[in-house]
Structure 1
Amino acid sequence: MRTLWLVFRFELTRQILRRGYALITFGVPIAAIVIFFIIKALSGGEAEVSATRARGNLPPGVNIPGAGAISEDSPFAQARPMGFVDHSGLLGNVPTLIRFRSEEAALEALRNGDISAYYVIAADYLQTGRIEAFFERFNLGSMSDFAIRQALLSALLRQTDLSSQKLTLLQARTLEITPNAIGEITSQATENTNLLLAYVFATLLLFTAFTTSGYLLQSLTEERENRAVEVLLSSLRPRDLLFGKFLAMNALGLLQVLLWIGTAIFLFSQAAGISPDLSGIALRTDQIIVLIIYFVLGYLLFGSFYAIVGALTANLREGTQFSAVIVLPAMIPFYLAMTFINTPNEPLPVILSLIPITAPLAMTLRAAVTTVPLIEVLSSVVLLSLTIIACVWLAARLFRVNTLLSGRPPKLRDVLRLVRERA
């Protein structure tokens, strides 16, 4: 166990210090955050807030984060107007919004294409601060809550008695706006949202899993090519060497995913003030659980596959060629992504969700667009777990001293012999 821990720590440190890994893992999130705030600054957010203060519309000490982040001539501005239904009686006439007396009238206008979206301000808005947004179709950046923010801000400031409760609403980070789908007219919205979610998760899983598994393959073949493995095996067991590297690569992949997801959550939370559509991209608890399970199992599966390839090949070039046998079948669901999005519960997506090599990506795509039956999830997890155990066992069998020191890949009969031999 001590030698396994030493291998794990060494590989973790070495790979983190690799320029390529550091650039992708740390550089990409930093660049994304910098670019986001540059764009936000260029859009005039801070200048708009300062100008608003200069006009005396905001009292000292009151901050409205996001207010003015979208200027009225911003490219995010709507071609069609938006409306609102005010059950609180807080708002009067708003020049930039169309007022409706009832939600039914607003819905009818939305269906007829007279407006692109409408907001419903509940009667208890001053107590809850919640607003509902109803929109026609999903389109990143297609909606701006600038007008409703300014209308509510002006209405609250007109109140002569700014109670602590009203100040809290003014100082809130963002308006709490709940987006809602409108029946059949949001079929395009659902399709676009599902398409975005499916491709994001599929791409993230493919990129991170194969990148970190590739590091494992590279590490194994490099040590065989420069014969460093002969020195290593004089002081530790082959199994400790394999498992130490295997665990280190999976830890690196997890770190990469956590940083990327954390950055994405942060950017989406910042962008929520620009577009309610962004805040409307939400996952249910069961979806999150399924996605986490298959991310972990996918890493373990592809890592064990690459460990087998590393034990069977003598150099990185051969290992890369062998890895195509893993990559191509695993990407089949990605090629059929539209089938998963449009008909996630048809036989083909279900079958691919049960086949271990395609299950991580297939179930990720399905979970992003639908509620997968529990029996299918359990069956897939069991089959995938058994496959991972079998692959790890096979990799350990093949990762023998005589295989590592031979300098050439074993033939099929040698593989069968190594599998049958006792450890």
Structure 2
Amino acid sequence: MIETIRAAFVIGRRDFTAIIFSKAFFFFLLGPMFPLLVGGAAGLLGGQVAKDIDRPVIGVAMSVEDSRQLLAARATLAEQVGERRLPELKQLDQSSATIPPETLLKDQKNGLAAVLGGTLDQPVLTGTQGPIENYRGEIAMLSAFAQNAETTKLPPVETRLVESSAGNEKQQRLVTAQGAQVLLFMLTMLLAGMVLSNLVEEKANKIIEILAAAVPMDAVFLGKLFAMLAMAFVGITVWSSVGFGLAALSGPALPSLPTPAVGWPLFVLLGVVYFTMAYLILGSLFLGIGAMAATVREVQTLSMPVTMAQLINFFLAMYTVTKMGEPIELFACLFPFTSPFAMIARAAQDGALWPHLLAVVWQAVFVVIILRIGVYLFRRNVMKSGSAGRIKDSGGKKLFGLVKLPG
């Protein structure tokens, strides 16, 4: 066991150094940053567009006195209930009172969503179904308040702020659980694929067979897996540094994150642990696929079902977020491929720690099982290819287990 670990460390250090100091890894680090920047910019622009679209303008085609009272009532109520809760009103020219509302709505220059006519006693709202359903009640409230603005007084509301409530805390922890699952899944799928590409490349160059002749195959697989895991942590560290830098520049503009049930320090630690286990499980599976594949085309053919299955596992884990304690959630916690995602969600909603210890031990056992299967498949599908070339000479010596030399 000690020799295997020592050999795995040598293999892992070799792979880690070769990847980290390569140009491809530098561009690999830059790759996810561009979609994030583009997505952030698109989100800001989309939010602004949605904000503008969500504020339809209602034209007021009433008499001068009614329009004045209605706009004054809106300004007063906006201070109490908020600007966004009331429709935006636009005073139209007095000549518009003689124009049919249907004609005013067709005017592209005004861009009105609806037209309010009639009187304060009997307001008439003309428009499509959406604005009428959304703002019919608000128009009635504004009309009633405008008629009795001097006698109607809104009472001041005394507010008492509490840190949290049971319902609000539960909803916030659900957001934390789902966000952690999405982040864990994205990082795992983004980084685990490099294990497969690295193994296939070395198989094509016959390097893997040389390594297999020098050290046990268990050490080769183990070293490669942990080298890729270390590379993944380097990438995560770089991306996290950039993310924290952008967050520091944003300052108070960022929303406050809901606190998980186990607390932020332990939740972050569990996130690192479950990412490690999810990466090792998927990476071990990819190593097994690489052991069965001889070409890049075969790798793509074999890895596609695994990727689709992993998506199904992720959707199952997301479905169980709101099913705490139910059989489907317990199954997701026990099933190795969904266990890391289901357990990180449980950490956000439940403060118990002992289930996490059991889950990590079970996931580690499953990693060992998959690795052993991958080693067996590699020996069966790859290493046996040299058996036909062995020389049956009882007096010879084996070279790399494939050829015997005289004497």
Sort the TM-score into its range (normalised by shorter chain): 0.5 to 0.7
Query: Which is further off, 390-399 or 13-22?
Result: 13-22
C-alpha change, 1:340 and 1:287, in structure 2 (3 Å) is farther
Instruction: Give runs of aligned pairs for residues 1-400 of structure 1, distance below 5 A.
Output: 4-16=8-20, 21-26=25-30, 28=32, 79=83, 105-107=158-160, 180-182=163-165, 184=167, 186=168, 191=171, 194-195=174-175, 197-233=176-212, 235-275=214-254, 277-278=255-256, 283-336=263-316, 339-368=319-348, 370-371=349-350, 373-400=352-379
1:22 Cα shift? 2.8
* Structure-2-length-normalised TM-score: 0.55
C-alpha separation in 2, matches of 1:194 and 1:265: 23
8 Å CA contact 1:229–1:404 kept in 2: the answer is: no
Offset of 1:387 from its aligned partner? 0.8
Letter in 2 for 1:291: G
In 2, the alpha carbon distance for the partners of 1:378 and 1:338 equals 21
Query: C-alpha separation between the residues in 1 aligned to 2:208 and 2:313?
Result: 37
Letter of the 2:314 counterpart: F
State the 1:310 CA deviation: 1.5
The aligned amino acid for 1:12 is F
Distance verdict in 2 for CA 1:244–1:379, change over 3 Å: closer
Q: Give the deviation of 1:3 after TM superposition.
A: 5.5
Aligned residues of 1:221 and 1:314 also touching (Cα < 8 A): yes
Contact 1:242/1:307 (<8 A) preserved: yes
Query: Gaps spanning 5+ residues in structure 2: where?
Result: 45-81, 86-155, 387-407
Q: Residue 375 and residue 319 in structure 1: after superposition, are their counterparts in 2 closer, same or farther (change >3 A)? A: same
Provide the rounded CA distance (Å) in 1 between the counterparts of 2:318 and 2:380: 47
Task: Give the 3 Å change call, closer, same or farther, for CA 207–394 of structure 1 in structure 2.
Answer: same
CA distance in 1, matches of 2:158, 2:197: 63
C-alpha distance 7-286 of structure 1, shift in aligned 2 (>3 A):
closer
Distance 1:330 1:310, change over 3 A: same
- TM-fit CA distance, 1:23: 3.1
Tell me if the contact between 1:272 and 1:279 (Cα under 8 Å) persists in the aligned partners: no
Q: Does the 8 Å contact 1:230/1:405 carry over to 2? A: no
Deviations 1:67-102 (A, max 9, x none): xxxxxxxxxxx8479xxxxxxxxxxxxxxxxxxxx9
Q: Deviations over 1:337-374 (max 9, x none)?
A: 65333333322122111111211122223333x11643
Identity of aligned residues (%): 23
Paired residues of 1:310 and 1:319 also in contact (CA < 8 A): yes
Q: Which runs of 5+ in 1 are unaligned?
A: 41-77, 82-101, 108-117, 119-133, 135-179, 408-423
Aligned equivalent of 1:173: none
User: Deviations along 1:237-257, whole A, 9 cap, x unmatched?
Assistant: 434432322221111112222
2:189 and 2:164 map into 1 onto residues whose CA distance is 36
Amino acid at match of 2:29: T
Q: In structure 1, what residue type is equivalent to 2:159?
A: A
**What is the CA RMSD across the aligned residues, in angstroms?**
3.9
SS of residue matched to 2:159: helix
- C-alpha deviation, 1:258, in angstroms: 2.6
Distance in 1 between the 2:205 and 2:342 partners? 39
Instruction: Indicate the larger mover: 380-389 or 26-35.
Output: 26-35
Letter aligned with residue 265 of structure 2: T
Amino acid at match of 2:359: S
Aligned to 1:421: none
What's the counterpart of residue 138 of structure 1? none
CA-CA distance at 1:306 after TM superposition: 1.4
Change (3 A) 1:234 1:351: closer
Q: Deviations over 1:96-155 (max 9, x none)?
A: xxxxxx9x9223xxxxxxxxxx7xxxxxxxxxxxxxxx7xxxxxxxxxxxxxxxxxxxxx
**Which amino acid in the other structure matches residue 14 of structure 2?**
F
Conserved? CA contact 1:349–1:362, under 8 Å: yes
User: CA separation of 1:316/1:201 partners in 2, compared to 1, >3 Å: closer, same or farther?
Assistant: farther
Separation in 2, partners of 1:267, 1:246: 32
TM-score scaled to structure 1, two decimals?
0.53
Single out whichever of 260-269 and 300-309 deviates more from structure 2: 260-269
Deviation at 1:19, TM superposition (A): 5.5
Contact 2:280 2:367 in 1 (8 A): yes
Matched length? 272
Query: Aligned partners of 1:80 and 1:183: how far apart in 2?
Result: 28
Rg comparison, structure with higher value: 2
Shift of the 281–310 alpha-carbon distance from structure 1 to 2, 3 Å rule, reads: same
1:35 CA displacement: 10
2:332–2:339 contact (8 Å) kept in structure 1: yes
